[in-house]
Amino acid sequence: MTRTLEEVGRGLAPLRPPRSLRPGERIHVLGAGGAGASQAVLLAARAGASVSGCDTGGPSPYTEAAQAMGLPLAWGHDPSHVATPTGAPLVDRLAVTKSLTSVRPDHPELAAAHGAGVVVEAWQQVVADVAHTRDQRLVAITGTHGKSTTSGWVAHLLTVAGRDPSAAIGALLPASLTGGPPATVRWGSGDTMVVEADEYADNFGPYRPSVAIVLNAEWDHPDVFADRAAVVAMLERWLRAAADARPTLVINVGDTGGHELLARLDDWPGRIVRFVLLNDGEPEPPAEVQGRVVAEARAGDALRIEGLPEGTLTAGLHLPGRHYAADALAVAASGLALGVDASSIVASLEGFGGVGRRLELKGEPRGVTVLDDYGHHPTAIRATLDAVRQRYPARRLWAVYEPLTFHRTAAMLQEFATVLAAADRAVVADIWANRDPDTTITSAQALADATTAAVGGAWRAVAPGSPEATADWLAAAVAPGDVVLVMGGGRSYVIAARLVELLRAG
């Protein structure tokens, strides 16, 4: 059953234009240990606000930068974070993940905020306000797949070009970009902030970009989108909200959803830069920027790009697989839209090593290669498995998946089983509930059983339990030469880290 925007955003203040932060403005961020909310913590603190945060999950890879800054983080939720026992406000606003307000309207901190008259807003509003405070234009990257990688890559592109951008994305940027520990933000002095714009239930609503980059549009988030058409409609709504400023639209016309979206924007008032990654034997849709993979290698593909002012260029990527080639082409098209010279575009494409949890090598203890990836949609999992096969041919491949949300798993159970069956072995960890009101509609074991059926019983997929239990099971099952690809969007990073530790310990 899908929910409306009003249901998901219940209890939040109405969406508003961005405004400047006041010096010392008191902001408390609920769920500060997540890849998303951590962006608000870091950016608001750097912009001069008085920031605190909390999370029941304890320290995470996304909190290390905030801890290094000495910001106050609590590992639990309590009404005292936002108001006194008598109901006096202790903060000026509470920043939250939007879906929390519909799944947990009785959350103690939400209740305390409403009782004390504290404004409750999505954390994305804080990010937008920071950009407004610093008079930075937004370059926003959206789409069902590839947002984090492409956002990090565009930030890298602008850094190589000497523009010193800021950035806020849902993955860890490397220290080479942050200038400190890996973090979900980059603090730059330039006039541009690169943001990852999440389409879920209009999460990207606070962002009014000067340049909008649409990578693709596919059905996802079945709790709010009934089908792909609903995703396309949400993207159109967001873009039209920014149309008065005549932003530049960079869009993938080789994607079915992207093509459908563009057809609905035939009256677009700004500039349009179309890009497409061509496949042999397929028609070539009109596009300003075209790309083709001209060579595949274990280290990455060679991408030929046409449509830049300097003519045809070729870049050797360090990320394998066609999905990364498509992301790279989006970066090149973005460079064209942003006026970046060709030499900087090529240098960025060839020098970018990715962002955290996107085919990230965690270690190779005892001859076992352990990779960590955020893939949690059938299309993304399929593309990631293909990339791993390209980089590690002829090795036994384990697909280890922590499903993200019960509703997505139930709606796409057979699709997940089919893609997991493409590995040599599959392991399914407990489902990460996140925003699920109903956790009875399916299970990890149901997905493991469906995967076993998909391979005709040639081998059996297993569901060992928690991320910790899954790592323990794997440590006893893998063998030298195996490649273990861990995927998921919740606590699956625990599986990869723990497996590496266990194998190193023998």
The alpha-carbon radius of gyration of the chain (Å, integer) is: 22
Q: For residue 157, give the H/E element and its range.
A: helix 147-160
- Give DSSP secondary structure letters for 110-139: HHHHHHHT-EEEEHHHHHHHHHHHTTPEEE
CB half-sphere exposure, 470, CA atoms < 13 A: 33
Tell me the two tokens of residue 426: 């599959």
pLDDT of 101? 76
pTM for the predicted model, two decimal places: 0.95
pLDDT of 281? 77
Tell me the two tokens of residue 192: 């541009």
> pLDDT by residue (tens digit) across 374-410?
999 999 999 999 999 999 999 999 999 999 999 999 9
Is residue 219 within 8 A of residue 228, CB to CB? The reply is yes
Tell me the two tokens of residue 283: 């028609």
Cβ partners under 8 Å of residue 225, min gap 6: 2, 219, 231, 234
- Evaluate if residue 99 carries a pLDDT over 90: no
> pLDDT by residue (tens digit) across 82-96?
999 999 999 999 999
Domains of the chain and CATH, by start: 5-126 (3.40.50.720), 136-351 (3.40.1190.10), 360-504 (3.90.190.20)
pLDDT of 1? 65
- Evaluate if residue 3 carries a pLDDT over 90: no
Spatial CA neighbour of 403 closest among 462, 491, 278: 491
Q: How confident is the model at residue 437 (pLDDT cuts 50, 70, 90)?
A: confident
Rounded to whole angstroms, what are the CA distances from 84 to 11, 71, 105, 116, 211? Answer: 20, 21, 20, 9, 43
Hey, how many other C-beta atoms are within 10 angstroms of the C-beta on 357? 25
Q: For residue 67, give the H/E element and its range.
A: helix 64-68
